[in-house]
Chains A and B, each alone.
Chain A
Amino acid sequence: MSTEILMPALSPTMTEGNLSKWLIKKGDTVKAGDLIAEIETDKATMEVEAVDEGVVLDLLFKEGEANIPVNKAIAIIGDPKEKVEVKKEAPIEKVIEEKKIEKNIETKIENKKTDIIDTPSPKIEEDRNLSSEEITMRQALRDTMAEEMRKDNKVFILGEEVAEYQGAYKVTQGLLQEFGKERVLDTPISEHGFTGLAVGAAFKGLRPILEFMTFNFSMQAIDQIINSAAKTLYMSGGQINCPIVFRGPNGAAAQVAAQHSQDFSSWYSQVPGLKVIAPSTPYNAKGLLRSAISDPNPVIFLENEILYGLKGPVNNDINFSIPIGKANIEKEGKDLTIVTYSIMLQKSKEAALRLKEEYNLDTEIIDLQTLRPLDTETILNSVKKTNRLITVEESWPFGSVGSEIANIVQRDAFDYLDSPVIKVNSADVPMPYALSLEKLYLPQVDDIINAAKKVSYIK
């Protein structure tokens, strides 16, 4: 059997090559791995090796011949006793036929049915198992971690100062005493390393909870979060999942300035493969953290330092959870919708009270709870009812969660809108240190009220 040696493509972009030099001649016996020719490509001159074995029956081009198309036969090797058939024109194969893919005009970010659990977010006002005692957000998070660690040995926590110090913000208080140093691990200040380590542990079947002292430091580790944790399930064709929770405070604290105040909600929400949660109360912190720890995917759990001390009732059932991907209608209303999350829920509620008192506007407030997958249904239903929307969040304005919501709403509820969507965000600058400037930087109740007036055409 004779085999054709074809002009190889030696770079992803090469379409033709020049035959600089033959390293074999007719009648030579070649073995796999032998050098046969030098080919000049669009990038360089490369040596080409034989892959098949046999006697060189014919060389189809002379040295120096140029512009030979890729995949054209340049030599024939085989058994000399056999008759050689040389195809005059070796077909230039197109690897992938260009298919006409009918695409939507716009690429939609689609939530698959399976991503969304069809149970609604439980309502605190209807919860019969509500504790009489109010606890802090800090304690709600701690209790939930402890409950899940009691249930499943594979759950462990690691991070800076989580064990002996009892947590930089005391969120892990007492966990070392209860679960020991094998399951509550102090790490060095080494985010890139210990994040990669935790991701590896999750690949191998453990369920790490990784605390970033603040999400600002997750930037040291963001390659492992995005390139390893979020993408490996896909890259492995569904074989290797990464059940890990990255949690810690996100956004501004108080006067900690530019490097310690950033809100990362839209950064992480942009990444397929990650789920992103931002709780706003002790009640939903508890239900959402339980869902996050039980989830087989990597979850970014964005807490807020200022909210750690926020008190409220919780549901103490150790199986109480709030589904990921479900927003909560915090307050029903008919005149306009505010979509918000995390600490801005508090400011939005204050604004709603004043809007009622001062302008007789009945505001509907949606607390997103989960940023990815986004509960677009709840948002759209609300907009279809109130016809006016403002988004309120702490992050920078460019490409924020509110930007995506504004896009979805104009696309899917355009005819329902009575005014343009307005976004309320932080100022588009690094966070300043001075108290006065910090206040200017962050969205305030007055900013929300001004936006509400604008969408309601109130002067």
Chain B
Amino acid sequence: MNKLQKADYIKMYSFMLKIRRFEERAAQLYGMGKIGGFCHLYIGQEAVVVGILMTIDKNDSVVTTYRDHGHMIARGLDPKRIMAELTGREDGYSAGKGGSMHMFSKENNFYGGHGIVGAQVPIGTGIAFTHKYNGEKNICRTYIGDGAMNNGQVFEAFNLAALWKLPVLYIIENNKYGMGTSVDRAAAGLDLYKRGEAFGIPGEKVDGMNVFSVIEAADKAGKYVREGNGPYIIEVQTYRYRGHSMSDPAKYRTKEELDNYKQTDPIEIVKAEILKKKIATKDEIEKINKDTLEEIKNAAEFATNSPFPKDSELYTDVYL
């Protein structure tokens, strides 16, 4: 990858901030009863998806888990429409029929948003299969939570991807807990990136709180996959500040542990770098902060004013 330009730093900062402000606002709307059901926030993990974003081609495909709001924002999708899906309105990306966990944008090669733990892994592998079948140079980025790494279909997908040398980059977002169960209570052998070894899939572990480390690893892995060498696994060590979903108080971990991670806050790291390199002044950063807050406020406004889907929509989109 080319050396990061000044604009890249600003882009990273803006996207990470946008994700965080979006999630905080989503939490607020949830609190007000405007968002229902399950809602999984990405706060703390922003550097992962934004780091990957910096190495992505717009024709590459993406598929991810139900913790997907940040992934959609990083894909350049409109926060207004994402929030409108969370509020279950007709302007949402799935016209209000999917909700927080099931969002898609085919035109942006974003294939969800999957609510079943692990199910997106064979699906992402199949999307990669299609890139290869069609003779395209693109790859499919398939995100996996640490919880899914004990799910059988993940290994079936690894086997197929390696067997058929499919252009799929598996990104394990290890945020340390599958719901309330810590990785060490769920996974025998803690190095999840090594779980492709048996299939000959190379893997590496990377610090997911630091966007620069993520970029470096993603760039290297992306090249390997794009050159037709088959799949690659990156295990990104990250941390979610919030509970698994909105109703989870996260009592299974200590406050010290959380505070410790907050010391290495991914957004603060980028901000410090920007100031150190004199890419932007404090005032300019402050302006980004204000603009972002405003944009997300508008998104919330839009999402709460968009109409509910028409009753007639109940019976549409079952069959094409």
Question: In the complex, which residue of chain B has the Cβ closest to the Cβ of A198?
Answer: B126
Give complex CA distance A269, B241 in Å: 43
Residues of A194-246 at the interface with B, using a CB-CB cut-off of 8 Å, are 194-206, 223-224, 227-228, 232-241
Is there contact, CB below 8 Å, between A235 and B127?
Answer: no
A12–B36 CB distance below 8 A: yes
Q: Kindly list chain B residues whose C-beta atoms are within 8 Å of the C-beta of A196.
A: 119, 121-123, 125-126, 153, 156-157
Query: From residue 269 to 320 of chain B, which have CB atoms closer than 8 A to chain A?
Result: 293, 297, 308, 311, 315-320
Inter-chain contacts of A41 with B (CB < 8 A): 247
Question: Beta-carbon contacts of A164-206 to B below 8 Å, as 1s and 0s?
Answer: 0000000000000000001001011010111111111111111
**Given A32-B293, A240-B111, does the pair A227, B126 have CB atoms closer than 8 Å?**
no
Stretch at the interface among A2-10, A119-127, A351-359: A2-10
* A110 B20 Cβ-Cβ under 8 A: no
Could you say which residues of chain A place their CB within 8 Å of the CB of B127? Answer: 200-201, 203-204
Report yes or no: A234 in contact with B133, Cβ–Cβ below 8 A. no
Q: Does B189 contact A (CB under 8 A)?
A: no
Is A58 in the interface zone, CB < 8 Å from B? no
Please determine whether A6 and B31 come into contact, CB atoms closer than 8 angstroms: yes
A197 to B132, CA, bound (A): 13
Task: Give the total of B residues in contact with A, Cβ under 8 Å.
Answer: 71
Task: Pick the contact of B33: A93, A110, A203, A227 (CB < 8 A).
Answer: A93
Return chain A residues, CB-CB under 8 Å to B203. Answer: none
Complex interface: chain B residues within 8 A of A112 (CB): 315, 319
Q: Is B61 an interface residue (CB 8 A)?
A: yes
Check B156–A193 contact: CB distance below 8 A. Answer: yes
Establish whether residues B315 and A193, one from each chain, have CB atoms under 8 Å apart when the complex forms: no
Interface size on A, residues (CB 8 A): 71
**Residue pair B31, A237 in contact (C-beta under 8 Å):** no
Beyond known contacts A8-B27, A114-B319, A206-B133: 15 more, CB 8 A cutoff: A8-B31, A11-B247, A32-B21, A51-B28, A71-B32, A193-B122, A193-B159, A195-B122, A196-B156, A197-B129, A199-B123, A223-B116, A228-B123, A232-B112, A240-B104
Interface residues of B (CB under 8 A from A): 20-21, 24-25, 27-28, 30-34, 36-37, 61, 63, 92-98, 102-106, 111-116, 119, 121-131, 133, 152-153, 155-157, 159-160, 163-164, 243, 246-249, 251, 293, 297, 308, 311, 315-320
On A, residues with C-beta under 8 Å from B are: 6-12, 14, 32-33, 41, 43-46, 48-53, 70-71, 93, 95-96, 101, 110, 112, 114-115, 156, 182, 185, 187-188, 190, 192-206, 223-224, 227-228, 232-241, 272-273, 275, 296-297
Closest 10 CB pairs of A and B: A8-B31, A196-B122, A200-B126, A193-B156, A237-B95, A11-B247, A44-B249, A200-B123, A197-B126, A204-B130
